[in-house]
């Protein structure tokens, strides 16, 4: 599970990471998201990957499903009508499905790279105001310890909740476009 914490800034991030690692959470399972890369200066913490920060995978899967649907409709129409004397068979239909699905996924990935991850987009205003989000990937047992450590270390922090690590293409959130 992905557990999310809103931090006032990265001031206590090194202490938080050390405390969480002492409970058995691996260093690679603790990531931080901020608005700018300059916020990480002087801290030895892991920045969230582009897949955690941007909506690449979620959008690619969504658009891929749309492409698959359009590919099915197109294949059925071409198979039934056989336009211009074409011999539209199974291999052609599979190629059309793969082509439409791939194109949809590609368009979705291009769209997703310019938007905040759907799990984090609702906290866009906080990030723009200089706050940080800490993502901790752990089970519920370690998560309770993590909540206690975060609350003790940074009293201004807030537990935002937990989410699955599975990117649900049917889950819809308002996506925030990122500014350069």
**Structure confidence at residue 122 (pLDDT):** 87
Share of the chain above pLDDT 70, in %: 95
- What average pLDDT does range 129-154 have in this prediction? 88
- What average pLDDT does range 11-19 have in this prediction? 87
Whether residue 178 is predicted with pLDDT greater than 70 in this model: the reply is: no
Say what the pTM is: 0.79
What is the rounded CA–CA span in Å between residue 95 and residue 74? 11
Whether residue 176 is predicted with pLDDT greater than 80 in this model: the reply is: no
- For the chain, the straight-line distance linking the first and the last C-alpha, in angstroms and rounded, comes to 30
What is the helix (H) or strand (E) element at residue 124, kind and residue range?
A: helix 124-128
Domains, in order of start, for the chain? 2-53+117-163 (3.30.70), 56-112 (no CATH)
- What average pLDDT does range 4-17 have in this prediction? 87
Query: Per-residue confidence at 45, pLDDT binned at 50, 70, 90?
Result: confident
Q: Sign of the C-alpha dihedral, residues 156, 161, 164, 166?
A: negative
Whether residue 47 is predicted with pLDDT greater than 80 in this model: the reply is: yes
80-95 b/e (C-beta count within 10 Å ≥ 16 → b): eeeeeeeebeeeebee
133-156 b/e (C-beta count within 10 Å ≥ 16 → b): bbbbbbeeebbebbeebbeebbee
- What average pLDDT does range 159-179 have in this prediction? 71
> Structure tokens of 159?
């537990």
132 burial level (CB within 10 Å; 0-12, 13-18, 19+): buried
């Amino acid at each position: 599970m992905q557990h999310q914490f809103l931090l006032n800034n990265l001031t206590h991030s090194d202490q938080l990471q050390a405390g969480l690692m002492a409970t058995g959470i691996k260093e690679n399972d603790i990531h931080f998201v901020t608005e700018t890369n300059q916020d990480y200066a002087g801290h030895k913490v892991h920045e969230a990957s582009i897949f955690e920060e941007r909506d690449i995978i979620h959008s690619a899967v969504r658009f891929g499903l749309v492409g698959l649907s359009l590919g099915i409709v197109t294949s059925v129409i071409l198979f039934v009508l056989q336009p211009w004397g074409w011999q539209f068979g199974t291999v052609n239909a599979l190629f059309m499905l793969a082509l439409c699905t791939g194109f949809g996924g590609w368009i979705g990935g291009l769209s997703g790279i310019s938007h905040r991850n759907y799990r984090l987009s609702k906290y866009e205003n906080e990030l723009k105001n200089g706050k940080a989000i800490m993502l901790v990937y752990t089970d519920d047992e370690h998560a309770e310890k993590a909540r206690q450590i975060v609350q003790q270390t940074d009293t201004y922090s807030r537990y935002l909740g937990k989410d699955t690590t599975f990117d649900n293409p049917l889950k819809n959130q308002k996506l925030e476009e990122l500014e350069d």
